[in-house]
Chain A
Amino acid sequence: MKIKISIPTERIHNPIISESIIETGISINIMVANIDSTYGELIADVNDFRFDRIKNALEFRGAIVSILDRPIHRDDEECVECGACISVCPMNVYCFDVDWNVQVDEKKCIQCGMCIKMCPHGALKLGE
């Protein structure tokens, strides 16, 4: 599953991620990382069955962990199937099928929002 790890300012100098990985022995695949001297936010993929353990380890050290369960949602009325979204998505969520319909694989979405800005028809939103 895709998770978001937020690291608040007061913990930014601690090696939270490394310590949690070493302690639990659970590897996480970091897909997006924005960290500076004031704040950190990471998006990572983790095995569903190991989520609770890594979450506990991270939160014990002051991080905030949430599951990304609001993937991109397409408004089928607005979408004209142009495919503008395809090349800006870092996770290959979008592709054409054989009939040139745009297929959406929400499971891969990391909610980065690139496609929302790209869509000329305002057809993409983060789901409710």
Chain B
Amino acid sequence: MVRKSIHEINRKIEDGDVNVVTAEEMVGLVEDLGVEGAAKEVDVVTTGTFGAMCSSGLMLNLGHSESPIKIQKVWFNNVEAYSGIAAVDVYLGAAQISDTRGIQYGGAHVIEDLLRGKEINVHATSYGTDCYPRKVLDTTITLEDLNEAVLLNPRNAYQNYAAATNSSKRILNTYMGELLPNFGNVTYSGAGVLSPLSNDPDYETIGIGTRIFIGGAQGYVIGNGTQHSPSTGFGTLMVKGNLKEMNPDYLRAASFTGYGITLYMGIGIPIPILNEKLAAATAVRDEDITTKILDYAVGSRDKPSIRQVNYGELRSGLVQIDGKDVPTSSLSSFKNARKIAGELKDWLKRGKFFVTMPVERLQGEGLVKLMKQTQAVPLVKDVMSNFIVTIKKSQTVQDAAKKIWENSFNHLAVVSDSSELVGILTAWDISKAVAENCFDSVESVMTKKVLTCSPNEPVDIAARRLDRYGVSAMPVIDMQRCVLGIITSDNISKLFARRY
């Protein structure tokens, strides 16, 4: 049985004879030497990831002005930051967007600009006190001028992340990038074989106090990240590092069209191989790491899973959906993940970086909770009209006119013989048929491309769809396309009339 201590490994690092491999190289080593052989041979395995990590930000201290100000509101290059902490402490969130440039520029860009040595405009306001009399402040700063500039990221380095696709008929602009209609592409994030937490899934060496590579500097894991969900394999890390020691190669602002700003972070974590179990864990391959492909056409937090997929398939460039080859896009950079694992390996070999044991382990069990909502948005089934008039597609236009007249109902759902929804017919369609003197079957005059919704969709999603396509009603259908009711703009306006 192999047993090594952190001290033994650090002594080897100091002596310059430590054996370090990247998580990618470890796969082959374990295949060749076996788990025990590799555990004896290898002292440290390095991991790396470089991708969009929205939950990031900068804690900074501006120093005191003359006369002093207790900052109440503050903007950096017109990007607002949070200053409800003492007088000149500020937290600038990476995803905050500019007041003037919208999603073209945001907190992440300010952080990158600071790192590149650029001057940043600061505008601050306050109410003024006896001890902090100043009410307005305007100045320019660079990174050097700040007392502290600490990157403090509440949720980075997701253990696993679902891939994205789109079953709808229009392009979706999401934080998973541009998703093409009719399953036109799949996008994914994560470094697979090199992913830090996937190489230590029991959080045996990655925990509170673990020294890491962050943005090109040495930083630390300070706890589990927000939304840490270890029981589902979605662990996350909260990390910190000194921006003044970072390198813009490993910290890059980004903007997703139609979504907003994010920060691409480079994170690398060394895993000391203390025993065989860690050697086996770090031999994880792309093919062993699975995730789901979720359908972003559903604008709900519960997106349906289209299928399971592993990182080997995702990284091959094509995945199969319904027998069709669908091209994939990576949103994180494998090249940079590899560069980070390589650089960390180099630091260890040159005695510039020492490994640590966690001061405390991360929570190994637990689930992320969903939001408690006291003012729930009603569902379509709560407000729809259960009364709906249907007509068979083979009936005549005159039958349809009669039905509309008798029921004083403006929308007829057209159904097939097996009661499936096949179209919709309104008084307007009938007027058009009359005007064009075209009295055929209902089928020939109805609208065939019907917008529909499901009974369990939130009303606001349905309302947005009515608005986008400029229609006044949608049939509500079940999975078998059977008509359950209809939701009209009238139903929705009544909902608000009742409430206010």
* Partner of A120 from B184, B254, B317 at Cβ < 8 Å: B254
User: Would A101 and B335 count as touching, CB distance under 8 A?
Assistant: yes
B338 and A100 within 8 A (CB): yes
| Residues in A neighbouring B264, C-beta threshold 8 A | 80, 120-121
Q: Given A80-B336, A87-B185, does the pair A114, B329 have CB atoms closer than 8 Å? A: no
Q: How far is the CA of A80 from the CA of B263 in the complex (A)?
A: 12
Let me know if A84 and B329 touch, CB within 8 A: yes
B140 interfacial contact with A, CB 8 Å: no
Please report whether the interface of chain B is mostly helix, strand, loop or mixed according to DSSP. Answer: strand
A120–B185 CB distance below 8 A: no
**Complex contacts, B50 vs chain A, CB 8 Å:** 80
B330 touches A117 (CB 8 A): no
B37 vs chain A, min Cβ distance (A): 28
Chain B neighbourhood of A99, CB < 8 A: 335
Say if the beta carbon of A88 comes within 8 Å of chain B: yes
State whether A87 and B333 are in contact (beta carbons under 8 Å apart), knowing that A80-B264, A120-B254, A122-B255 are contacts in the complex: no
Q: A74-105 toward B: CB 8 Å interface, digit per residue (1/0)?
A: 00000011111111100000011001110000
Asked whether, in the complex, the Cβ of B177 is within 8 Å of the Cβ of A118, the reply is yes
Q: Is B82 an interface residue (CB 8 A)?
A: no
Pair A81/B335 contact, Cβ less than 8 Å = yes
8 tightest CB-CB pairs across the interface, nearest first? A87-B185, A120-B254, A87-B329, A87-B327, A100-B335, A82-B333, A81-B335, A83-B330
Q: Bound state CA distance, A96 and B257, in angstroms? A: 23
Q: Which of B136-190 contact A (CB under 8 A)?
A: 173, 177-178, 180, 184-187
Contact B256 A120 (CB under 8 A): yes
- Residues on B with C-beta less than 8 A from A88 are 177-178, 180, 185, 329
If A82-B331, A87-B185, A87-B327 are given as contacts, then 18 extra A-B residue pairs at C-beta distance below 8 Å, sorted by A number, are A80-B50, A80-B264, A81-B333, A81-B335, A83-B330, A84-B329, A84-B331, A85-B329, A86-B327, A87-B180, A87-B187, A87-B328, A88-B177, A99-B335, A117-B173, A118-B177, A118-B329, A120-B177
Q: How many residues of B contact A (CB 8 A)?
A: 31
Question: Residue B381 at the A interface, CB < 8 A?
Answer: no
Give A residues with C-beta under 8 Å from B.
80-88, 95-96, 99-101, 114, 117-118, 120-122
CA A100 – CA B342 in complex, angstroms? Answer: 14
| Contact bitstring B325-353, A, C-beta under 8 A = 1, else 0 | 01111111111101000000000000000
The contact sample of 6 A-B pairs, CB cut-off 8 A, is: A80-B50, A82-B330, A84-B187, A117-B173, A118-B177, A120-B255
Q: How far is the CA of A99 from the CA of B342 in the complex (A)?
A: 13
Q: CB within 8 Å of A: which residues of B?
A: 50-52, 173, 177-178, 180, 184-187, 252, 254-257, 262, 264, 317, 326-336, 338
Of all chain B residues, the one with the shortest Cβ separation from A85 is B329
Query: In whole angstroms, how far apart are the Cα atoms of A96 and B336 in the complex?
Result: 13
Q: Are B252 and A121 in contact, CB atoms less than 8 angstroms apart?
A: yes
B317 contact from A82, A96, A117, Cβ within 8 A: A96
Contact across chains for A81 and B336 when beta carbons are under 8 A apart: yes
Residues of B within 8 A of A95 (CB): 317
| Chain A interface, DSSP helix/strand/loop, else mixed | loop
Chain A residue contacts of B328, Cβ below 8 A: 86-87
Residues on A with beta carbons closer than 8 Å to the beta carbon of B327? 86-87
A40 to chain B, nearest CB (A): 22
Q: Which of B252, B264, B329, B336 has the most CB of A within 10 A?
A: B329
Residue of B nearest to A120 (CB): B254
Contact yes or no, B333 A117, CB < 8 A: no
Residues of A within 8 A of B257 (CB): 117-118
Tell me, rounded to whole Å, the shortest Cβ–Cβ distance linking B247 to chain A: 13
Residue of A nearest to B186 (CB): A87
Q: Which residue of chain A has its CB nearest to the CB of B253?
A: A121
CB within 8 Å for A114 and B317 given contacts A81-B335, A86-B327, A99-B335: no
Complex CA gap A86/B52 in Å reads 17
Please measure, in the bound complex, the distance between the C-alpha atom of A96 and the C-alpha atom of B252, giving whole angstroms.
21
Contact A86 B317 (CB under 8 A): yes
Scoring A95, A114, A117 by chain B CB atoms within 10 A of each residue's CB, the highest score goes to A117
Q: A114 — which chain B residues lie within 8 A by C-beta?
A: 178
- The chain B residue with its CB closest to the CB of A82 is B333
Query: Which residues of the partner chain B approach A121 to less than 8 Å between Cβ atoms?
Result: 252, 254, 264
| Chain A neighbourhood of B255, CB < 8 A | 120, 122
Instruction: Report Cα–Cα, A117/B50, bound state, in Å.
Output: 21
The CA-CA distance from A84 to B180 in the complex, in Å, is: 13
Chain B: which residue is nearest A79 at the CB level?
B333
A120 touches B335 (CB 8 A): no
Q: Which chain B residue has the least Cβ–Cβ distance from A86?
A: B329
**Which residues in B have their C-beta under 8 angstroms from that of A101?**
335
Q: A114-B178, A120-B52 are in contact. Are A84 and B330 (CB under 8 A)?
A: yes
Which A residues lie within 8 Å of B252 (CB)?
Answer: 80, 121
Tell me which of A82, A83, A88, A114 has the highest count of chain B C-beta atoms within 10 A of its own C-beta: A82
**CB nearest neighbor in B for A89:** B327
Which residues of A sit under 8 angstroms from B173, Cβ to Cβ?
117
A60 CB, min distance to chain B CBs, angstroms: 37
Most chain B CB atoms below 10 A, which of A80, A87, A99, A114: A87
Bound complex: CA A86 to CA B331 (Å): 10
Which of B52, B177, B257 has the largest number of chain A CB atoms within 10 A? B177
* Cα distance A100–B186 in the bound complex, in angstroms: 18
Inter-chain CA distance A1–B407, complex, in Å, is: 62
Residue of B nearest to A102 (CB): B335
* Distance of A49 Cα from B144 Cα, bound (Å): 60
The chain A residue with its CB closest to the CB of B180 is: A88
Residues of A within 8 A of B336 (CB): 80-81
Q: Nearest-CB distance from A96 to chain B (Å)? A: 7
